[in-house]
């Protein structure tokens, strides 16, 4: 008797047509897939080399340190070649060349984004709180 009442209420049960997905199930699935993609997508974002500007190189090193929650080391030698590596490691995460650099630069960037000069006691134009080179133009010839 219960089976007959159920068959009367649901037309698909009477005709034998296979049931499909409901609109709600499809929407929930799409929302879950969208959230998963939004969480995973930044992991595939590769660091792009910045323009030929020391300030942008420092900004990129700071961004990498904060994103990875890891201390980074930025070294710009006197020929203008620069590398960003994790502190205490030799793996190069980004590298490039800057034109017309007079003096070398070595920075350690904390995971919180603060910068500290390595070697020299101070670098002209370096704002350690904001991790920016205010005098980046002064480092060029």
Higher pLDDT, 68 or 5: 68
Per-residue model confidence (pLDDT) at position 57: 84
Can you give the pLDDT at residue 10?
58
Q: Measure the CA–CA gap between 95 and 91, rounded to whole angstroms.
A: 11
Residues 70 and 33 in one domain: no
Which ranges of 11-127 would DSSP assign to H, the alpha helix?
11-15, 23-40, 54-68
With bands split at pLDDT 50, 70 and 90, how would you rate the model's confidence at 71?
Answer: very high
Query: Is the same domain home to 11 and 75?
Result: no
Residues 130 and 83 reside in one and the same domain: yes
Which residue segment(s) compose the domain that 79 sits in? 50-139
| CA distance linking residue 77 with residue 97, whole number of Å | 9
**How large is the average pLDDT for residues 120-136?**
63
Asked if 56 and 28 sit in the same domain, the reply is no
The per-residue b/e assignment along 27-63, b for 16 or more CB within 10 angstroms, e otherwise, is eeeeeeeeeeeeeeeeeeeeeeebeeebbbbbbbbbb
**pLDDT computed for residue 136 by the predictor:** 44
């Amino acid at each position: 008797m219960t089976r007959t009442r159920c068959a009367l209420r649901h037309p698909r049960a009477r005709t034998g047509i296979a049931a499909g997905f409901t609109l709600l199930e499809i929407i929930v699935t799409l929302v879950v897939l969208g959230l998963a993609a939004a969480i995973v997508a930044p992991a595939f974002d590769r660091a792009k080399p910045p323009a030929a500007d020391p300030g942008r190189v420092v900004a990129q090193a700071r961004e990498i340190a904060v994103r990875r929650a890891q201390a980074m080391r930025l070294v710009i030698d006197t020929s203008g070649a620069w590398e960003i590596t994790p502190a205490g490691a030799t793996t190069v995460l980004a590298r490039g060349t800057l034109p017309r650099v007079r003096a070398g630069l070595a920075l350690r960037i904390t995971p919180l984004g603060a910068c500290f000069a390595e070697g020299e006691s101070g670098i002209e134009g370096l704002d350690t709180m904001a991790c920016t080179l205010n005098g980046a133009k002064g480092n060029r010839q």
